[in-house]
A and B are shown apart, each in its own frame.
Chain A
Amino acid sequence: MSLKSSRLTTSDFAAAQETYHANGWTDGLPIIPPTPDLVSACLEWALLPPEHLVGIEPVRERSITAEKLAVNAVMAGCLPEHFPLVVTAFTAMLAPEFLLHGATASTGGCAILLIVNGPIRRELEMVTTFNVLGNTDRASAAVGRAIRLALINLLDVRPGEIDRSTLGHPGKFSYCIAEDEENSPWPSLAEERLGESAVSAVTAVAAMAPRQIMNEWTSNPEEICETISAEIRSNQLHYSIWAGNYVVVLPPQLRRHFFDAGWSKDDIQNCIFNQARVKRGSWKEVGKGSVVKDRADREYLAMESPQELMVVAAGGPAGGFAQIIPPWLGTKSRATTVAVGACVDCEVP
C-alpha cells in the first residue's frame, strides 16, 4: 500500500514518545507509533485506499483522508477492526449541521460524544453496562481517543490554538459509549434516527460533561422523568438556556420502571419534553437577573421537539441513577448519525 505521510526514524520506542510529545502530536498520554504496517492494516480492514476522502472541514478547507485518520487511530491504540468506527465518526462530525469548527474551537469546551449502535458493538466487545461513561473496554477508549488525536493533528485543535476551551472536560480524552440493545426492548438510538433496524452506526454529539441524577424512591415513570427534567432545567439556567440535543443515559434499574409501565422511548421523550422548560425570569434565582430584562415570562424549551431528546439504554445493573448529557450550545450543532460502512455515492450494481 502506498502511503503518503512523511516518515520519521527514531532510535527506539521511548525516543518515539519524546518526538511525538515534543511536537505536540499527542493528548499528553503515550501513543502507539504509527508504523506503515499498522496504518496499512487499518486501511485494509476498512477496504479504504489511503487517499480516500472522508470529508472536508469547511472553515479550514482542509481535506481529511483515510490515511491521516488511520495514522491517528493507530496512535490512539486502535486495532484495525476499530478503524471503521473512527471513519464513521469523523464522517458524522464533518456533516455541515454538526458545525465541527465551532464545536471544537468554542470557549464552551465541549467534547465529541460518540454513541455506537448495532452488531459492531458485539464484534468489538464494547461494554454497555458497568461504568459505561468511564473506563470500559479497548474499542470504546481507543475510538474516542482517536477522534481527539485526529482533531489535534489534522485540524490543530490544541488547547490555546484552535481549541479555545475555557475549562473543557475529561470527555475530551475519550467519550465513546455503546448502547445496551440486548437488555432493552426499545429501538436503538440508531434505529430511531436512521429508521433501519440492526444497522451498525455512530451518532456524534457536541456534548458537555455528564450530570448524574439519582431517584431510587419511586417506580412512577413520570416522577423519574421529573428528576431528569429538573437536572435539564438546572442546566438551562446554570449553563445554557437554548434548546438542543440532550442525551439521557438510562441504566437497567430505572429502565425497568419504564418497561413495567409499558413506556416506550417516545413516551419518555414526550414526558421530558413537556417537563423540561424554564421561564427566563428564573435566571434571577441563579445570579443572572441582569439579562432577564422585560422578558421574564418568556418560556424556553430544552428541546425544539421530543425527538431531539436522545434516550440511550446503558449502564450497570444496580443503581437508580441516570446521566444527562447537555448539548454544547443549543442547536448550533446538531447530533448526526451515520451508518458504518455506508457508501453515499456507490452505484447500485
Chain B
Amino acid sequence: MAERNGVPAVSIMTSAFVDAAELMARVQGVPLHPFAVIEHPIASADARGIDKRAQVAVDAAVEILTQ
C-alpha cells in the first residue's frame, strides 16, 4: 500500500508466514513483491534472538530497497 503511494517500503515476515505473504502479494496483484524473512517465532525470543532477527531484517531491507 505504501509503495503504491510512492513510499519505498519493505514487508518483514517470519518464516511461518512466508506462504501467507506470497498469497497476499498474489491477490494484491504483485506476485513477485519481495519481502524480508526472519526466523519464527518472535514473541518468545530473548534479547539476543531479537537482535539477530533485527540484523537479518535490516540486511534484507537494504538489499530489497537498493536492488
Contact = CB atoms under 8 A, between A and B. Distances in A.
Contacts of A160: 19
Contacts of A164: 17, 20
A200 to B, nearest CB: 35
A5 to B, nearest CB: 20
B7 interface: no
B20 A156 contact: no
Nearest to A101: B24
Nearest to A163: B20
Nearest to A160: B19
A161 B23 CA distance: 7
Interface residues of B, number: 5
B27 interface: yes
Contacts of B19: 160
Interface string A267-305: 000000000000000000000000000000000000000
Interface string A144-185: 000000000000100011101000000000000000000000
Nearest to B20: A164
Interface in B5-45: 17, 19-20, 23, 27
A7 interface: no
A60 interface: yes
B17 A156 contact: no
A164 to B, nearest CB: 6
A160 B27 CA distance: 15
Nearest to A291: B43
Contacts of B27: 60, 156
Contacts of A156: 23, 27
A162 B17 CA distance: 11
A328 to B, nearest CB: 17
Nearest to B27: A60
B41 to A, nearest CB: 10
Contacts of A105: 20
Contacts of A60: 27
Contacts of A161: 23
A232 to B, nearest CB: 23
A156 B41 CA distance: 25
A60 B20 CA distance: 13
A162 B27 CA distance: 10
A60 B28 CA distance: 7
Closest 4 CB pairs of A and B: A164-B20, A161-B23, A60-B27, A162-B23
10 contacts: A60-B27, A105-B20, A156-B23, A156-B27, A160-B19, A161-B23, A162-B20, A162-B23, A164-B17, A164-B20
